[in-house]
Amino acid sequence: MPNVTFIYNGQTKVVQGKDGQTVLQIALDNGIPMEHACGGNGFCTTCMSRVTAGMTNLTPRNDREENMGITEEPYRLCCQAKISGDVTVEIPD
Ligand code: FES
């Protein structure tokens, strides 16, 4: 199973996710605090994070991310990005 490394609040935590899960779902399943005001529907940007490694192991940026103005690397909406391999994600303070 892919490793997902989260960097947040000055700490680093490595957890495992399953192919096809969103980064948000993996964070929440592992008790990692990731904001998700719209419930993971791609309408708020509170889950926006920096992908510092493994961008190619995420599904491509989708229309919801584009519509919310998340168009530049390394930023992604974690509720829209699904994993297919190891990734490292830095959650903004
Ligand atoms: S949780 Fe709202 S955009 Fe991701």
Q: What is the pLDDT of residue 71?
A: 97
3-state secondary structure of 42: coil
The domain spanning residue 65 has which CATH number?
3.10.20.30
Instruction: Give me ligand 1 centre to Cα 26, in Å.
Output: 14
Instruction: Give me ligand 1 centre to Cα 37, in Å.
Output: 6
Residue 58's domain spans which residues? 3-90
pTM attached to this predicted model: 0.97
Q: For residues 72 and 61, what is the distance between their CA atoms, to the nearest angstrom? A: 10
Q: What is the pLDDT of residue 25?
A: 98
Q: What is the pLDDT of residue 76?
A: 98
Mean pLDDT per 10-residue section of the chain, whose length is 93 residues? 97 98 98 98 98 98 98 97 98 95
Beta strand 75-77 with 3-8: parallel, antiparallel or unpaired? unpaired
Structure tokens at 52: 């510092």
Residues with CB under 6 Å of ligand 1 are: 36-38, 40, 42-47, 77, 79
Answer whether the bond into residue 92 is a cis peptide, omega within 30°.
no
Instruction: Give the count of domains, the chain.
Output: 1
Closest protein CA for atom 3 of ligand 1: 42
